[in-house]
Chain A
């Protein structure tokens, strides 16, 4: 097979990072080429360069044997390159149809030729099995449909090289299978696919070859049939992966925290949590497994006072908490590592010291009389925590935006753990962190457990759930669909629960697709 695409010595620098460091990569015509690597390893950057959205600082692109300059997406489109972005590039108030044709509109003297185009779009979606309602507004269709729409967009532009950037991250397992069907279909028709993912399982299932990036460099390219899981994992992280966290067996004490029959709506008013009940004991970690978007975040936000609960009871040490506000919850000694540190956890423009008091800023010793801050106490607090949690650099006056993700997360953890929480919520606590930072955070979480905190761990990473939790509950479509001690859990069992497998049986033939309200 010949190379349809060759990237040579591509380098891209961002302030403070070399996102792509002399990457050379060959893509063969008609193959499915997986591109893997940890968060921040440079996958998206490389593909954005190929698509003309970023311009490389150095390096060359050869397309079908010819040296090609791609500085604008337009050029990529003209060269038959299509890309489905990690974060969808859809114009929400426009219709599906308008999104498909946008930028490549069939026209008669400037007017959009609606009729001709509609036929073409219908044909494409039939041919490739990409079911989407073309007349609907994008904001009204499901995520799965949005993704199919993205692929349709690329095909409509006659792409024969299709880049899929982490397409499975937002999909249910069933939708993933469907996507793989489409990919195989496309491959049969001669389309070359570059497929980005974090999940080794998916690489092994669908790709012909796989390239691994680490910290902006290409580690290597393998034929999928000639590699295996441990080898890929090691290539990705640069050493053998330590999957288990060392910890003692839990010594659960009194029941500290409970949720019963909780129902929550999101900001749009859709019911996302549909009757969840949980209990957590002192010194115990309850892991919540589940594909993201199944109500975990709404549940956590209801517990922490950021969203209102429609119904249900939340208690800490017997006292009811439901619908207290965030400040009142904080004062009950509940710690919370939020899922998105940039959105929720930190004020990036504040310095470390000011971030270290967020949420405690109304309490002594940080304020004196007349609302005046006690600068000494604030500094002392930050200085102590920075040392204890090994935040680097240990400069408490520095703006938090200038710290790396791992160190930012340490700042959040330090703050949330510092006031001896009785109950701790850790939501995706290690997202986007490197192995070193992950280990550190994991140790701290176990440490809190051993000090007697009750911990609710929410994570999309099964590895993390399995290695930290003492008990595991699986959440699916706003309900707990299964619960077990960690000893009885394994990936397969959790995986099938996460897909709603057993839940489907319980609810008598409901399909996954029709679960929307």
Chain B
């Protein structure tokens, strides 16, 4: 995977588009298998996710957490690290945010809400710092450790949500957060909330951080060539740890948004694989903040449309999961799409 400078080249924009088309084509085969009409299914899928204010709001709402996890994965990747622990990070982040959200009563919103958000980010960052530290100090590959920590995060939050922070009712969830910790809804009835604004701010901040600050320069230098970075006086380990911490903090925002903006409480295992989808989003968005935005919107649209497709056609909704997996494969197989595009050009 070759990374470019701060702007995306036309090829980097074209490959994802071709990949999405390929994935939809293969998905059509699955639709045909179940004896349905692919065109009709896709029409339902996209008209219910991209047409009309409500649909767009729903799509954006679903895109919001994916922007965070996508940014998280992309950010770590810029430092040469593969963070597949976004799922675990968002769980601990969400848990921390909810704890703050339920405990500190009597605070004004301007203090309580940021406090909850920051608590979540801190928890996610600390969680991610462990694989970061192990990589930086002991050279242990972060992929395995982030996977392992996902599971540890599941069990830890399982314990917290049914134990010390159980909401007291007979459901595996915490108490409701106080209204002062809620992310306000933007376009009711849609669950789109101010989280999307934080997400867009995060996109801009990540962009500026990576390409306009000296810290971003160092992170990217370590990502491209750690030995040369070291030669240039840049600490590999400090930057790796920092990148993981930031990545974890970004990932945790996905959980924070879900909790403070959508569910209003921590529900055991609430995330529909948002962290893993973040890998796909980062990949599809070419590890670029702007690319991440569009990729997240596409995935948000797919999920939104899937619900409608499930309701209105007989195509099982898992089709969309299959399509998402295919998109990941095709985007990653740059060489395949490149060959296809070249053949077209020749023809």
Contacts and interface: CB of A to CB of B under 8 A. Distances in A.
Contacts of B221: 347, 350, 358
Interface string B177-218: 000000000000000000000000000000000001111011
Interface in B205-251: 212-215, 217-218, 220-221, 224-225, 227-235
B2 interface: yes
Contacts of B220: 350
B214 A348 contact: no
Among A343, A370, A375, find the residue whose CB has the most chain B CB atoms closer than 10 A.
A343
Interface in A354-388: 354, 357-359, 361-362, 366-367, 370-373, 375
Interface in B1-34: 2-5
A330 interface: yes
A359 B232 contact: yes
B213 A361 contact: no
Given A361-B217, A371-B213, A373-B214, A349 B224 contact: yes
A492 interface: no
Contacts of A429: none
B232 A326 contact: yes
Interface residues of B, number: 23
Contact of B233 (A325, A346, A367, A373): A325
A349 B233 contact: no
Contacts of A290: none
A327 interface: yes
Nearest to B211: A373
A347 B214 contact: no
Interface in A334-353: 336, 338, 343-351
Contacts of A321: none
Among A344, A347, A361, A373, find the residue whose CB has the most chain B CB atoms closer than 10 A.
A347
A204 to B, nearest CB: 38
A318 to B, nearest CB: 23
Contacts of A366: 214
Nearest to B218: A361
A306 B224 CA distance: 18
Nearest to A305: B233
Interface residues of A, number: 34
Contacts of B214: 361-362, 366-367, 371-373
A361 B231 contact: no
A348 B233 contact: no
A453 to B, nearest CB: 19
B239 to A, nearest CB: 12
B3 A359 contact: no
A375 B231 CA distance: 22
A373 B230 contact: no
A358 B224 contact: no
A325 to B, nearest CB: 7
18 contacts: A327-B233, A327-B234, A327-B235, A343-B225, A344-B231, A345-B228, A345-B231, A347-B229, A349-B3, A349-B224, A350-B224, A354-B217, A358-B231, A358-B232, A361-B232, A371-B214, A371-B215, A373-B213
Interface of B: 2-5, 212-215, 217-218, 220-221, 224-225, 227-235
Interface of A: 304-306, 325-330, 336, 338, 343-351, 354, 357-359, 361-362, 366-367, 370-373, 375, 399
Given A350-B224, A359-B231, A362-B233, 7 more contacts: A336-B231, A347-B228, A348-B224, A349-B224, A350-B221, A354-B217, A362-B214
A-B interface, 6 closest residue pairs, ranked by CB to CB distance from nearest: A327-B233, A358-B232, A359-B232, A344-B231, A326-B233, A371-B213
